[in-house]
Amino acid sequence: MNKNPSEHDALSEPLYQVVFNDEEQYSVWPAHREPPSGWQRDGYTGTKRACLTRIAAVWRDLRPLSVRSTEGLASPASSVGR
């Protein structure tokens, strides 16, 4: 019986990879697949649980990069009275 290389052994956990986009938002993606358009590999591969642990460790500020950048440019005094 031939097995598709992308199929995993029923006794083992599938492997995932950590991916992120231009907004520095993280996700897990099957390791055997290319990340979707707009996403790139973080370089970490493991079980889904291990990947989620990795994401929790590196993704400390859940706001998208564009929001963080905009908020960082506005000073508190400039927004008073608006």
Task: With beta carbons less than 8 A apart as the criterion, state whether 68 and 61 touch.
Answer: yes
Q: Which residue, 6, 2, 25, is CA-closest to 16?
A: 6
Query: What are the tokens at 79?
Result: 């927004």
pLDDT for the residue 82: 35
In the chain, where are the structural domains located?
Answer: 16-63
- pLDDT value at 7 more than 80: no
The position carrying tokens 């992308």 is 6
Q: What is the pTM of this model?
A: 0.71
pLDDT for the residue 80: 42
| Percent of the chain whose predicted confidence (pLDDT) is above 90 | 66
Rounded Cα distance, 26 and 21, in Å: 7
Class of domain 16-63 as given by CATH: alpha beta
pLDDT for the residue 77: 44
What is 10-63 written as a DSSP string?
A: TTSPPPEEEEEETT--EEEEETTSPPPTTEEEEEEEE-HHHHHHHHHHH----S
